[in-house]
Structure 1
Amino acid sequence: MHHLDITALEARYGTHTVLSGIDLSVGRGDVIGLIGPSGSGKSTILRVLMGLLPPASGSVKLDGETVDYANARELRRLRDRIAIVFQQYNLFQNMTVLQNVTITPIKIKKRPKAEVEEEAKALLAKVGLGDKLNAYPDQLSGGQQQRVAIARALALRPEILLLDEVTAALDPELVSEVLDSVRLLAREGMTMMIVSHEMGFIREVSSRVVFMANGRIVEEGPANVIFDAPTQTRTRDFVSKILRH
């Protein structure tokens, strides 16, 4: 049994179909890289998984149990198990780094403050920000803020981490420090789904790469197959264009 199973998933914005017939299985410890042109539906898959956009049809199963996205209690339980980091870090500006990472586990999850803070300090050290616990977001670079956002997601102790273009808003010289944090998580066996335009990184870190176009999965396979020997013309065109740049 897979950790996460997406079957025949459809999603719409109004009358516009944005995902069509998506079938995707994710095993524990898998790192799935989602690539494809803008508007192909990569980020939409992550939004549907988090319950931010209701699926029009199809199913999502977590450990064999079908997720009922219309059920508020179930949605809350799902968000205990899956966390997402967005392109915009959305940190609380009036809170320190440590407070940003600990507020949800303490206030919403009602976990003991001392234990949560201990864990948060370890997570912040892991993403290279052990010396910034008392800094405020406006004292940090974009790359540092994004690493705080990753630590904040990890503080929820998710089984699956979704990363949606986490480097897209960053200056080029700050990208690598964020990717280093993600590399570390991959090495530790964190199950992840990553939407990114950083192709070298996707190639290096993904156990499987999924190429999407027009709301559908065109092709999926090991990174070396998708990047070096794709079978679909659409994949070949995309890969040859981006690798030429």
Structure 2
Amino acid sequence: MHHLDITGLEARYGKNTVLSGIDLSVARGDVIGLIGPSGSGKSTILRVVMGLLPPVSGSVKLDGQPVDYAKAADVRRLRDRIAIVFQQYNLFQNMSVLQNVTITPTKIKKRPKAEVEEEARVLLAKVGLGDKLDSYPDQLSGGQQQRVAIARALALRPEILLLDEVTAALDPELVSEVLDSIRVLANEGMTMMIVSHEMGFIREVASRVVFMASGKIVETGPAAQIFDAPTQPRTQDFVSKILRH
């Protein structure tokens, strides 16, 4: 049984169909890289999975259990097990780094403060910010803020981490420090779905790459196949363009 199963998923923004016929399964420990031109629906898949955009049809199952997005309890249960990090860090400006990471586990999940703080220190050290616990977001670079956002997501103890263009808003020289943190998680066996334009990175960390265009999955396979020997003309066209740059 797969950890996450997406079947026949369709989603719309208004009258505009943004996903159609999406079938995607994620096993434990998979790192799925979602690539494709802008507007192809990559980020929308993550939004639908998290319950931020209701699907028109199709199903999402977690460990074989269907998720009913119309039921708040189902969405809550899902968000207990899956966390998402967005392009914008959305940190609380009036809280220190440590407080940003500990607030949800202590206030919402009602976990013991000492235990949560200890875990947060470990997570912040893991993303290279062990010395920034008392800093405030405006004292940090964009790359550091995004690494806090990753630690904050991990503090929820998710089974699956969704990363939506987490380096897109960063200056080029700050991108690698965020990718380094994600690389550590991949090496530890964290299950992830990553939407990114960082093709070299996706090629390196993804166990499977999904190429999307126009709201559909065009081709899926191991990174080497998708980047070196894609079978679909649409994928070939995309890959040849990105590899020229």
CA shift digits 1:61-96 (9 cap, x unpaired) = 000000010100111111010000000000000000
Q: Which residue of 2 aligns with 1:174?
A: 174
Aligned partners of 2:117, 2:77: CA distance in 1, in Å?
Answer: 22
What residue ranges of structure 1 are gaps of 5+ in the alignment? Answer: none
Per the normalisation by structure 2, the TM-score is 1.00
Q: 1:73-152 residue pairs with structure 2 within 5 A? A: 73-152=73-152
Aligned partners of 1:241, 1:136: CA distance in 2, in Å?
Answer: 41
Q: Please list every run of at least 4 consecutive aligned residues from structure 1 whose deviation after the TM superposition is greater than 3 angstroms.
A: none
Look up the equivalent residue of 2:136 and give its one-letter code: Y
How far 1:21 sits from its partner (Å)? 0.2
- Compute the RMSD of aligned alpha carbons: 0.3
Look up the equivalent residue of 1:29 and give its one-letter code: G
How far 1:207 sits from its partner (Å)? 0.0
CA shift digits 1:131-162 (9 cap, x unpaired) = 00000000000000000000000000000000
How far 1:233 sits from its partner (Å)? 0.2
Q: Which residue of 2 aligns with 1:190?
A: 190
Identity of aligned residues (%): 88
Aligned partners of 2:59, 2:108: CA distance in 1, in Å?
Answer: 28
Aligned partners of 1:168, 1:14: CA distance in 2, in Å?
Answer: 26
Aligned partners of 1:134, 1:77: CA distance in 2, in Å?
Answer: 32
Per the normalisation by structure 1, the TM-score is 1.00
Q: Which residue of 2 aligns with 1:15?
A: 15
Aligned partners of 1:162, 1:24: CA distance in 2, in Å?
Answer: 14
Q: 1:5-84 residue pairs with structure 2 within 5 A? A: 5-84=5-84
CA shift digits 1:89-118 (9 cap, x unpaired) = 000000000000000000000000000000
Aligned partners of 1:166, 1:80: CA distance in 2, in Å?
Answer: 21
Look up the equivalent residue of 2:156 and give its one-letter code: L
Q: Secondary structure at the match of 2:125?
A: helix
Aligned partners of 1:15, 1:9: CA distance in 2, in Å?
Answer: 16
